[in-house]
Structure 1
Amino acid sequence: MIFRQLFDSDSSTYTYLLGCPDTREAVVIDTVFEQHARDAALIRELDLKVRYALDTHVHADHVTGAWLMRKTFGAQTVISGQAGVDEADIEVNDGDVLAFGNQSVSVRATPGHTDGCLTYVTRDKDMAFTGDCLLIRGAGRTDFQAGDAHRMWRSIREQIFSLPEDCLLYPGHDYDGRTVSTVAEEKAFNPRIGGEAREEDFVGYMENMALPHPRLIDIAVPANLRGGKPEDGVVPDTPDWGPVTKSFAGIPEVPPDWVARHSRELCLLDVRGPGEYAGELGHLANALLIPLDQLRDRLHEIPDNRPVITICQSGKRSAMATQILLKSGVDRAANLAGGMIQWNRLGLPVA
């Protein structure tokens, strides 16, 4: 299985991407709204088709990116039938199975943190995504959103600890840099519910944590009850000057054929050396030549009334040029994807 674990440092949230290597169908679990561009870039680079955007529950500390996954990739959004979400495409319950290509995850109801908490388990029961129910050496709080420590005790004991001992457990959050655990580890070492803990021990611990409410709860919960859809229904931060996408490395890029059709409306900035500019790959008509090692000193030569497209041989040096421009205050800048190599491969015109 294709598997990636992603992290949002602001909310300490893990997002998980699972894909079928045969069909390229995928699911994404617990996306973060503000990290959508990053996640979408990875999905494109891995050539995946997102079938489902899953949430383990209605989050109180961040806004889900599920609605954005629907808008961008046509994914169906999935959450518990007990969650009360208005915008969900599919409401699942305990025992349901979601297939993506030749892979699947099954649904286990694990309420306690909220009424609608779910754990998603892979087909071979070798991985489980526990959301905020069971954390690494911890458990999700139970003091709001209809939380109940007694229900969480049963959820963990009956639904998660019943999985194979070597099943890998991936939580919704971790605040200390831990990434994965196992059923056996948590049974033995979890200080709240592991070892010889009894229900009254666990409940006593959970009911006396005295934690402050999440700082984004008043924003996150209403937004997540809409499935992450903004109140105005508009996708944020979408460039209006061209089909800009960000790579997983965070570089804004535009496709060569679009540049060819709109070259007169753009500032074409070639950052190769003079020999390459006149060499076998050629250059774009009217491209401004400023070698990369001179760019910081010659920023004043770049017109500010047009978007800037940076160009080099393969798109690597021009990626650095794009970052230099963005840091200098040029907000309409993007890299020519694939550089002159891809430009020539497509048979686009050169001077």
Structure 2
Amino acid sequence: MSQHPTFMFLRQLFDRTSCTYTYLLADSYSKHAVLIDPVDTLVDRDLRVISECGLQLVYVINTHAHADHISASGIIKKRIPSVKSVMSKASRGKADVLVKENDSIEIGPNYSLKVIETPGHTAGCVSYYLTSPIQNEPGIVFTGDALLIRGCGRTDFQEGSSDTLFSSIREKLFKLPHNTIVYPGHDYNGITCSTIAEELDFNPRLGKEKTLAEFQEIMTNLKLSYPKMIDVAVPANLNDGISPGE
């Protein structure tokens, strides 16, 4: 890591329609920025924040092929051709950069996002772990729809698997330092973030006292409705945020 004086610029942005969190991260020294999970209908808002803060957007990152909204990656790339899109190789979708376990996305000279494959909600879900050059500053993990605050992503479509999600969270995310801050892809209760320690203690589906059998039973009995946007959103999101035929 560079020794340039720096801090991590972080903004958490919200889409009221899909309850999606979009994250804007930047290295304050280089001004290089990334957007995680941007929503197509909120491109103007996101690009305005980037411009007002004097940042240079380098990457648009998707944690997985979303079923409840279309990614803004395609629109942003048309407006800023230098921007590169990022998605997991396991998604079998289209992006400029296809990542796998332990790959890193650099944010300027000081920060990077380490890829942690966390399938189960979909086969191609990944989380991104941000390490800090500042001593004793806790890490941050952006978990997409894998680990939510006191919950997790559903496992009944897009090659989802309760067994796989349980393993992803318990064997990977819950092995991170306990003070790691958890920023999820969604929240439906107005909570912005959590920690690994909190989720170990209080997550009613995946906490440290839960067994795989208990988790399987919970997920089997969720009885959630079919996502309204899935038939439009998933094909677009597997095509770099552009609907097939456009």
Q: Which amino acid aligns with 2:212?
A: E
Give the equivalent residue in structure 1 for 2:46: 39
Offset from partner CA, 1:1-58 (integer Å, 9 cap, x none): 0000000000000000000000000111000000000000000011111111100000
Q: Which amino acid aligns with 2:233?
A: A
Give the equivalent residue in structure 2 for 1:6: 13
Distance in 1 separating the partners of 2:244 and 2:158: 22
Are 2:23 and 1:16 equivalent residues in the alignment? yes
Match of 1:85 among 75, 88, 93: 93
Match of 1:104 among 103, 112, 121: 112
Give the superposition deviation at 1:67: 1.4
Structure showing greater radius of gyration is 1
Give the equivalent residue in structure 2 for 1:144: 157
Give SS of 2:91's match: coil
Give the equivalent residue in structure 2 for 1:113: 121
Give the superposition deviation at 1:207: 1.5
Q: Structure 1, unaligned stretches of length 5 or more? A: 234-351
Distance in 2 separating the partners of 1:196 and 1:218: 37
Are 2:66 and 1:59 equivalent residues in the alignment? yes
Are 2:202 and 1:189 equivalent residues in the alignment? yes
Aligned residues: 232
Give the equivalent residue in structure 2 for 1:159: 172
Distance in 1 separating the partners of 2:192 and 2:216: 26
Question: Does the CA-based 8 Å contact 2:235-2:244 persist in structure 1?
Answer: no
Give the superposition deviation at 1:232: 5.7
Distance in 1 separating the partners of 2:204 and 2:130: 26
Give the superposition deviation at 1:231: 4.4
Q: Which amino acid aligns with 1:79?
A: M
Q: Which amino acid aligns with 2:231?
A: D
Distance in 2 separating the partners of 1:195 and 1:224: 34
Q: Which has the higher contact order (CA 8 A, sep 6+)?
A: 2
Spell out the pairing of 1:190-269 with structure 2 (5 A cutoff): 190-231=203-244, 233=246
Distance in 2 separating the partners of 1:203 and 1:152: 10
Question: Does the CA-based 8 Å contact 2:65-2:91 persist in structure 1?
Answer: yes
Offset from partner CA, 1:219-269 (integer Å, 9 cap, x none): 111111111124464xxxxxxxxxxxxxxxxxxxxxxxxxxxxxxxxxxxx
**What TM-score comes out, normalization by structure 1 length?**
0.65
Distance in 1 separating the partners of 2:93 and 2:75: 15
Give SS of 2:223's match: coil
Give the superposition deviation at 1:72: 2.1
Give the equivalent residue in structure 1 for 2:4: none
**What TM-score comes out, normalization by structure 2 length?**
0.92
Match of 1:168 among 169, 181, 205: 181
Distance in 2 separating the partners of 1:197 and 1:129: 23
Q: Which amino acid aligns with 1:113?
A: H
Give the superposition deviation at 1:195: 3.6
Q: Which amino acid aligns with 1:81?
A: K
Give SS of 1:18's match: strand
Distance in 2 separating the partners of 1:232 and 1:206: 35
Q: Which amino acid aligns with 1:38?
A: R
Give the superposition deviation at 1:191: 0.3
**Identical positions, percent:** 45
Q: Which amino acid aligns with 2:54?
A: D
Distance in 1 separating the partners of 2:24 and 2:10: 6
Give SS of 1:161's match: helix
Give SS of 2:235's match: helix
